Amino acid sequence: MKGLPSAPKCGFSRKIVAILEESKVPFDAFNILEDDEVRQGLKKLMDWPTYPQLYIDGELVGGLDIVQEMKEGGDLADLLEQES
């Protein structure tokens, strides 16, 4: 994400943090603004050009748009429940 959960640096990161906090699941974050090599490398490796990116067990779930759709459809809660 851009920034940290306690201090997001963009609205998209702020929204994804809110979704995860609302879900009451523990999560970690990496501030991609601190390391441009990681920032650019993840974009290429995962073929996902934007941040934040949500990963569960090392697998890319998607960006904010996908996470929001999954939340609205109930799929995110199901996925998070399986992982906890």
- Residues (pLDDT < 50) of the chain are none
Tokens describing residue 72: 């609205």
Among residues 62, 77, 72, the alpha carbon closest in space to that of 20 is found at 77
Kindly state the helix (H) or strand (E) to which residue 3 belongs, with its residue range: strand 3-4
In the chain, how many domains are there?
Answer: 1
Distance CA 44, CA 49 (A): 8
pLDDT for position 81: 85
pTM score, whole prediction: 0.89
Ranges of beta strands (E only) in 2-79 are 3-4, 7-8, 54-56, 59-62
Which residue range forms the structural domain that includes residue 57?
Answer: 3-83
pLDDT for position 83: 73
Q: Which CATH number do you get for residue 36?
A: 3.40.30.10
